[in-house]
Amino acid sequence: MSLPSRVALCDVGPRDGFQFEDQFIPTDLKVATITALADAGVPRIQVTSFVHPEWVPQMRDAESVCERLPPRDDVTYAGLALNQKGLERAHNAGLSQVDLSIATHDQHSLDNANVTVDEAVAQAEEMVRYAHEHGLEAQMGFQTVFGYQEPGDTPLPQVVDMSRHFAEMGVESISLADSTGLAHPHMIQERVEAVLKAIGDVPLVLHLHDTRGLGLANVYAALECGVDRFDTSLAGMGGCPFIEGATGNIATEDTAYLLDGLGIESGIDRAAVSRASRRIEEELDKQFPGKLHRL
């Protein structure tokens, strides 16, 4: 099976990575990191999330970050919104793209948001309608697609039906998240192929974690299915702070290295991303799990 000739990466480090840190990241460093990623050729950056500061204190400066984003015609800035209030804040902050996200596993939905999946879908429908009415492009993201408590315990038919439903609503893309890092290549191919058949021409994005060391193996499995958009995080920062043990996004530099080796264009300057990663490690005095930025 032929691989894509070009792949687009979205660096979620400024949101997913920074929100995982206990030490508050200064707004100056957040903006500098976003700027460095843009200069390194990253075409899409998830810059912040619009959540209650009581739950995610790290994101309490979301509006300030957005105000200071360097204008770029070649970069898309997106923000995560988990409810209607967050969506309205993203719109008022001037973002043109918003990432929405709901669970696909009932127990996870109850544990994380205190709603059933059906209730979460109804809320997300209203958010998609609001986004369309206000000129926002919305990515619809699904959490724990590859399992919550054990691999594959999220029903695949439910994932497929939800993907089809929101694709028909006209979202910009569908994103499948391995929130718990339970996925393996066979499951990636099975679930990706099923969703691709359901969503037609709507782009598919994968958000993979490297919790069990299979992150790049899962990228390759998805590439074989034709997936050409992935979420990554500089230095491999982040994870899911609301799921115990769900650490480690696939690193932007490491993923770009894999793509380069496969002859797939990404437009990413790995050395520039690595410099940004090393700066963060120096500022926070800690080492992140990515590999290439330390070479």
Q: Which residues contact 229 (CB under 8 A, 6 or more apart)?
A: 7, 8, 9, 10, 173, 203, 204, 205, 206
Residue 240 annotated as catalytic: yes
Report the distance separating Cα 99 and Cα 172, nearest Å. Answer: 10
What is the sign of the dihedral through the CA atoms of 146, 245, 239 and 20?
positive
Architecture, CATH, for domain 8-294: Alpha-Beta Barrel (3.20)
The answer to whether residues 291 and 31 touch, using CB atoms and an 8 Å cutoff, is no
Whole-structure pTM value: 0.95
For Cα atoms 30, 111, 117, give the angle at the middle one, nearest 5 degrees: 95
Q: Which secondary structure element, helix H or strand E, spans residue 143, and what is its range?
A: strand 137-143
> Phi and psi of 16, rounded to 5°?
-65, -35
pLDDT by residue for the chain (295 residues), tens only, comes to 689 999 999 999 999 999 988 889 999 999 999 999 999 999 999 999 999 988 899 999 999 999 999 999 999 999 999 999 999 999 999 999 999 999 999 898 888 778 999 999 999 999 999 999 999 999 999 999 999 999 999 999 999 999 999 999 999 999 999 998 999 999 999 999 999 999 999 999 999 999 999 999 999 999 999 999 999 999 999 865 555 544 679 999 999 999 999 999 999 999 999 999 999 999 999 999 999 998 8
The token pair that represents 15 in the structure block: 């949101």
Out of 10, 66, 225, 240, the active site residue is 240
Q: Return the bridge partners of 65, or none.
A: none
